[in-house]
């Protein structure tokens, strides 16, 4: 004979798992929703002040730690019904039942998810800000640290470490802006949407939203329940941020090799080998990379789970999805926090970087520019002359070799060795690249000032939002 609901396997495969997650993540938010909805009902005259007071006493009397420690035994379907049962015991079914006027598990659940997600977004924003601050401090210490920039994984032109790190600071700033924008859309309250069409009672949705620390309501009641872009946007933002971080870490791992030798992690972030005594493995960077990749994969999984599901109340975007969302945020935060920690103690070999910046004809773009300025050539003509001279030099990348090669190719140019040496100096190369966004020290100083101001503004915004969440309702 068929079992009644819930079937044993349904309880084991679904309800038990969902309850375990809910009891560890949603109890506090559920209590806040109960308080806010009860107060709103009383304010709107839907329940009496006496009934409201009795409900508040019953809510305050619940042992939250006991609820959080509860185990699923099949006597209740989910966290919502467990709390309802406990409230019935404290206030009586008649009074406790009044709390459920003008609401549904549907709007409660989506509100829980949004209340959880908004804190995760702020936590991730703070982790991104922490990494950004560390990189800005490093950039400020390395304004004059010349290094080779690479294109297509080949040495290209000299730049500075500050210039490189500020590029990373810019994508972290954009990641922050994306998180801030996502927060503003997450922090809209679905309460009052009820099952999907609101209610016939004269509720005040704006009051409930205010009591719960939301910036406003998720207005259309159908969309408040059915739409999932509040979390898929978060997944997209996390995915972009983790791709950004992964690209940077890939460079840093390469820089940590003996062959490059640009970067040295402190002892707390490297691991020895069980067999090779000489090893200093930069494992912390590898962990950042895999955590970022995990978060990216989880973000993609969130989008995949939501794809091609009905536009309505559907389990695909509810309880079963939330652990994946939490894992996505958690791994992204771990990646950024670990990155900030290891970079805060990292050391760069300035001499080796400068030496590599002076090799392999990395500065000959400036030699071509010098021919344009001094010999009246078009840049294309100057580029062709310098390219031929480089080929003639072969592996002898010196000012003297280039002087001889240019003399053979264009004896009319009459460039002195001193002029060529200046053009080939990596520091001169950097100094004259003073266009907006370039590596010249004065441009870097301006960029650092703007970046620090932007970071401070973002930190203050996040702090205000978090403080507002910590002080609402009670």
| This prediction's pTM | 0.94
Q: Where are the alpha helices (H) located in 157-261, listed in sequence order?
A: 161-186, 205-211, 221-226, 229-255
The tokens describing 171, both together, are: 């994508």
What range defines the domain where residue 255 resides? 106-135+158-168+175-348
Same domain, 184 and 329: yes
pLDDT digits (tens, 9 = 90+) for 220-268: 999 999 999 999 999 999 999 999 999 999 999 999 999 999 999 999 9
pLDDT digits (tens, 9 = 90+) for 168-194: 999 999 999 999 999 999 999 999 999
pLDDT digits (tens, 9 = 90+) for 7-35: 889 888 998 999 899 999 999 999 999 99
Same domain, 343 and 280: yes
Compute φ and ψ for 74, nearest 5 degrees. 90, -5
Instruction: Supply the CATH number for residue 50's domain.
Output: 1.10.275.10
Domain boundary among the residues 317, 348, 379 is at 348
Same domain, 298 and 198: yes
Instruction: Supply the CATH number for residue 239's domain.
Output: 1.20.200.10
Residue 408 to residue 399: CA distance in whole angstroms? 14
pLDDT on residue 1: 55
């Amino acid at each position: 004979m068929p079992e009644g609901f819930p079937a044993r396997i349904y309880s084991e495969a679904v309800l038990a798992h969902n309850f375990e997650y809910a009891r560890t993540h949603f109890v506090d938010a559920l209590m806040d929703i109960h308080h806010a909805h009860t107060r709103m009902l009383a304010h709107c005259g839907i329940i009496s002040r006496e009934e409201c007071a009795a409900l508040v006493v019953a809510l305050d009397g619940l042992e939250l730690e006991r609820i959080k420690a509860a185990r699923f035994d099949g006597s209740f379907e989910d966290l919502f019904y467990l709390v309802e049962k406990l409230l019935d015991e404290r206030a009586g079914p008649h009074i406790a039942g009044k709390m459920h006027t003008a609401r549904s598990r549907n709007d409660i659940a989506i509100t829980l998810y949004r209340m959880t997600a908004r804190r995760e977004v702020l936590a991730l924003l703070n982790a991104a800000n922490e990494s950004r601050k560390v990189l800005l401090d490093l950039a400020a210490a390395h304004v004059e640290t010349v290094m080779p920039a690479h294109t297509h994984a080949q040495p290209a032109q000299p730049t500075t470490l500050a210039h490189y790190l500020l590029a990373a600071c810019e994508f972290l700033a954009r990641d922050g802006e994306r998180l801030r924008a996502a927060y503003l859309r997450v922090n809209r309250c679905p309460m009052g949407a009820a099952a999907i069409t609101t209610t016939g009672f004269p509720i005040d949705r704006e009051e409930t939203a205010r009591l719960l620390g939301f910036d406003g309501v998720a207005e259309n009641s159908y969309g408040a329940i059915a739409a999932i872009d509040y979390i898929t946007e978060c997944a997209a933002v996390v995915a972009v941020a983790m791709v950004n971080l992964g690209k940077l870490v890939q460079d840093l791992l390469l820089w940590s090799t003996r062959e490059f030798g640009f970067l040295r992690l402190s002892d707390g972030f490297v691991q020895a080998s069980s067999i090779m005594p000489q090893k200093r493995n930069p494992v912390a960077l590898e962990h950042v990379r895999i955590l970022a990749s995990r978060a990216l994969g989880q973000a993609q999984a969130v989008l995949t789970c939501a794809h091609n599901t009905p536009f309505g109340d559907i389990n695909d975007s509810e309880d079963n999805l939330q652990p994946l969302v939490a894992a996505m945020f958690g791994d992204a935060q771990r990646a950024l926090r670990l990155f900030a920690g290891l970079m805060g103690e990292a050391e760069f070999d300035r001499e080796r970087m400068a030496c590599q910046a002076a090799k392999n004809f990395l500065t000959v773009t400036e030699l071509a520019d010098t021919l344009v300025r001094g010999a009246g050539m078009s840049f294309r003509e100057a580029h062709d002359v310098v390219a031929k001279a480089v080929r003639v030099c072969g592996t002898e990348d010196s000012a003297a070799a280039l002087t001889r090669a240019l003399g053979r190719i264009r004896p009319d140019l009459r460039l002195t060795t001193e002029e060529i040496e200046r053009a080939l100096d990596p520091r001169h190369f950097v100094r004259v690249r003073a266009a907006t966004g370039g590596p010249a020290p004065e441009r870097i100083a301006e960029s650092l000032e703007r970046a620090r101001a932007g970071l401070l503004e973002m930190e203050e915004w996040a702090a205000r939002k978090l403080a507002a969440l910590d002080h609402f309702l009670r």
